[in-house]
Structure 1
Amino acid sequence: MLQLECLAVNYCSKVTGSSLKTLFQRSRRLRCLLMNGTSLVSEHVLQVEWEKAALQELDITATDLSTEALIDMLTRIPGLRFLSAGQLNGFNDSVLKAFMELGNPRNLIALDLDSSDNLTDDALHKFLSRYGHQLWGLALSGMPHITDQLWQSVLPILNNAKIVVMGTQERLGVNIHVDQLMDGIANNCPNLERLELRWDPENLRFSDKSQKAIDILRVKCLKLRCLVLSDGRYFEVVKANFERADRTTVVRTTTNCRVSNYYLLSNYKDLVFN
């Protein structure tokens, strides 16, 4: 236990966090804790001496933690570099504000806030305006109110991004102008390696000039090895474009591929099971 640096208990429903305090007291070197889909109890989480932990990477996706527990945790952990905190009703504007003002997001390189319906685009814009330039991975998927407008406004800040996940599979009342979006990504994210657009094909608006926007993305984002789109007309257009340029394995559908910030975990290679 003393040497433990990384602990992954994703989807272990019996994990409530009752031994978290002891875990951190005994495992001073624990840097990575992945607890996606566990049954964490906020009271247990509040008892942990987060300020004494060496923790750098944390996944608390879909854990039902309260707003109080989230604020307590994010303002006391000294230097997170990786945070995955999607599908949490308790994660609202006040949590993000507290993290920004009382916590330490200065080391953060990866942020996943998937399906955080209680976060406003205004709060996200403020956070990304301050810290977006340092992010290598950003996932703001599953939120109908986060459209291409917010993305267009923050793309110039995301010039170090390697992984970006955007869009929701729910049918929207507004349309996403995907040509301008692709253009913005190509011109602002030269280091991009993985990109996923989850929007329903019916919501994607593109024109005869689409080929030019896709060409620019393909030529400017030379490190791009994975581009995931919902299966539909636009997917076919993009796939054909990349195939003509002999980049046959890049474009995939959301049916059989998902992009995640997990590639940025320091122990990612050790966490990949056969």
Structure 2
Amino acid sequence: MDLPADTIDQLPDKVLLQIFSYLPHKEICRLARTCKKWRQIAYDTRLWSFVSLRPEISGLHVTSLDTLLHLISHRFSQTLRYLELPMELITHTVLHELASKCPNLTHILLDFSTAMQLHDFNDMQAFPTKLRYMCICLSEVIFMEGFMRKIYNFINGIEVLHLVGTYEKVEEEEEEIYEVINIHKLKAATPNLRVVNLYGINFVDDSHIEAFSSNCIQLECLAVNYCAKVTGSSLSTLFNRCRKLKTLLMNQTNLLSEHVQAVEWEKTQLQELDITATDLSTECLMDLLVRVPALRWLSAGQQDGFNDSVLRAFSERGNAKHLVALDLDALDNLSDEALRQFITKYGSQFRGLSLSGMPHITDQLWIAVLPVLKYAKILVMGTTDRLSTKIHVDQLMDAIANNCLNLERLELRWDPEALRFSDKGQKAIDIIRVKCLKLSCLVLTDGRYYEIVKANFERADRKTVVRTTTNCRVNNCYLLNFYKDLLFN
């Protein structure tokens, strides 16, 4: 008698549930149409604890409020912890249902970025009360106060707040800027904030930073990246009031050197700092890096004032012995010799190093310092500028593989025309694939060498490792203490 063939249906339900948990929700919904058993597993509430209903993110599109209300009651229920809602699904009825049926909801994202008109929230009497994380994607023109006034009494437990602006949508011809959300009122309702991220909001200025500092003494991380009106005039007040502040991210702000130098940096607890593209003077950069007690993460690229003197002062008179991540992008006034000396001295403690955008930093410097970078997890090298010399990428890959066994992310930004490799280059690729087993992301500029590396990794069934600079960029943000809290969208 022939025994029945083994099939996936013979697996226990708990094993199938575990398998389904690795799939995106769009795929789970498709598999629910396979059979009754799979439908039952696909609708298990344990698979629906982290849900995005934004079609552009998850592919899930709920077409009616009645459908969403049914999902909240029967599929999300008590297991729901994280939810993303698009503008059309944010109504007082939905929020009431979430408050009553999803008591364990702690993370919510409300996307108003495409809103041209808000729903009526006059009748809203309830809102989720256990929130620890809230992200609001702001509209360019819709004022939020009518909605915010209704939720102030429910959000005092929030510890992580993201307000996401429309920086990427701003056109060259500046239109009138609207303060679409009242930050001064919001800060009074959220006294327990640890992490505040104000990303790309065109109306945010120093008064808003001062507002948070006046009521949020638990603040440990503040990010105001791409908030062009921030000049740093409130930094002294911020550090005087928020003694626990460890992370300050101010990429692409308009910091003024006199405001930065006025801060008593030596009395702060600052550990992580991003001043990329802030146009600070050489004197200011030197003063800052010498006085900060113990930086562990620094991003200071695109600064004309950052030169050898600044790096030398940081090395000799500053405190760089705790530095684990360094990003020095496009610093044309920094010599390769100064970098070599600094990396030789401190490279053994680095977990992330980015020296991109500098034509004079070639494979020769990297090959010289790689033996020191034995604990590096993230490396970014190369430039899109046209070079007069060739990059011997086979030797470089071989050096990386033999020295950086803990490497997780690597990016080579050199143009394909600058890369020189031989027909035997497959051996170097094999070595980095075999030795760097933790490597999850290898980014290259699209070209012949990219195709060779991609094919090599795909033959070894590592299809998601090799990517192009068109779709992916590597940086040191993964090494931030608050990286997971700072994630949004």
TM range (shorter): over 0.9
- Partner of 2:321, secondary structure, is helix
Secondary structure of the residue aligned to 1:246 is coil
Taking the aligned partners of 1:171 and 1:251, their CA distance within structure 2 comes to: 23
Q: Which residue of the other structure, out of 185, 194, 197, is the alignment partner of 2:409?
A: 194
1:144 equivalent to 2:371? Answer no
Q: Which residue of 1 aligns with 2:315?
A: 100
Aligned to 1:250: 465
The match for 2:268 among 53, 56, 59 is 53
2:253 equivalent to 1:38: yes
Partners of 1:44 and 1:135 in 2: CA distance: 30
Q: Deviations over 1:149-186 (max 9, x none)?
A: 00010000000100000000011110000000000000
Q: 2:441 is matched with which residue?
A: 226
Supply the distance in 2 between the matched residues of 1:125 and 1:11 (Cα, whole angstroms).
31
Within the candidate set 184, 187, 203, 2:399 is matched to 184
User: Aligned equivalents of 2:448 and 2:388: distance in 1?
Assistant: 19
Aligned twin of 1:261: 476
Q: Which secondary structure state, in structure 2, belongs to the residue aligned with residue 106 of structure 1?
A: coil
Matched, 1:239 2:239: no
User: Which residue of structure 2 aligns with residue 6 of structure 1?
Assistant: 221
CA distance in 2, matches of 1:154, 1:205: 20
Query: By how many angstroms is 1:215 displaced?
Result: 0.2
Distance 1:246 1:89 in 2: 44
Which residue of structure 1 aligns with residue 3 of structure 2? none
Task: Give the Cα–Cα distance (whole angstroms) in 1 for the partners of residues 401 and 341 of structure 2.
Answer: 23
The match for 1:26 is 241
Q: Which of 290, 296, 312 matches 1:75?
A: 290
**Partner Cα separation in structure 1 for residue 357 and residue 303 of structure 2:** 12
Aligned length: 274
1:91 aligned residue? 306
User: What is the alpha-carbon distance in structure 2 between the residues aligned to residue 114 and residue 262 of structure 1?
Assistant: 14
5+ long unaligned stretches in structure 1: none
The CA deviation at 1:143 is 0.1
CA distance in 1, matches of 2:389, 2:312: 28
Corresponding residue SS for 1:105: coil
Query: Aligned letter for 1:188?
Result: N
Q: Residue deviations 1:223-250, cap 9 Å, x none?
A: 0000000000000000000000000000
Percentage identity across paired residues of the two chains: 74
Determine the C-alpha separation between the residues in 1 that align with 2:484 and 2:310: 31
> 1 CA distance for matches of 2:235 and 2:481?
21
CA displacement at 1:61 relative to structure 2: 0.2
Partner of 2:180: none
Deviation readout 1:50-90 (Å, 9 max, x if unpaired): 00000000000000000111011100000000000000000
**Corresponding letter in the other structure for 1:139:** S
Instruction: Tell me how far apart the structure 1 counterparts of residues 268 and 298 of structure 2 sit (CA, whole Å).
Output: 15
Q: Tell me the residue number matched to 2:385.
A: 170
Q: Distance in 2 between matches of 1:51 and 1:71?
A: 13
Q: 4+ residue stretches of structure 1 with deviation over 6 A?
A: none
**Greater CA radius of gyration, 1 or 2?**
2
Separation (CA, whole Å) in 1 of partners of 2:386 and 2:332: 15
Query: Could you tell me which of 395, 419, 423 is aligned with 1:208?
Result: 423
Q: CA deviation at 1:208?
A: 1.0
Equivalents in 1 of 2:218, 2:233: separation in Å? 21
Q: Name the TM-score, length of structure 1 as normaliser.
A: 1.00
Name the CA distance, whole Å, in 2 between partners of 1:53 and 1:96: 21
Residue identity in the other structure for 1:141: S
Distance, in Å, in 2 between the alignment partners of 1:24 and 1:209 is: 56
* In 2, Cα distance between equivalents of 1:15 and 1:160: 36
Query: 1:209 offset after TM fit, Å?
Result: 1.1
Distance apart, 1:257 and its partner CA: 0.2
**AA of the residue aligned to 1:202:** E
| Distance in 1, Cα, partners of 2:253 & 2:381 | 25
Q: Which segments of 5 or more consecutive residues in structure 2 lack a partner in the other structure?
A: 1-215
Q: Deviations over 1:74-127 (max 9, x none)?
A: 000000000000000000000000000100000000000000110000000000
Q: Determine which structure has greater relative contact order: mean sequence separation of CA pairs < 8 Å that are 6+ residues apart, divided by chain length.
A: 1
Give 3-state SS (helix, strand or coil) of 1:240's partner.
helix
Secondary structure (helix, strand or coil) at the match of 1:83 reads strand
SS in 2 for 1:195: strand
Q: Distance in 1 between matches of 2:344 and 2:292?
A: 22
TM-score, structure 2 as length reference: 0.56
For residue 270 of structure 1, what is the aligned residue in structure 2? 485
Tell me, in whole angstroms, the C-alpha distance in 2 between the residues paired with 1:137 and 1:240.
27
Within 1, Cα distance between the matches of 2:361 and 2:411? 15
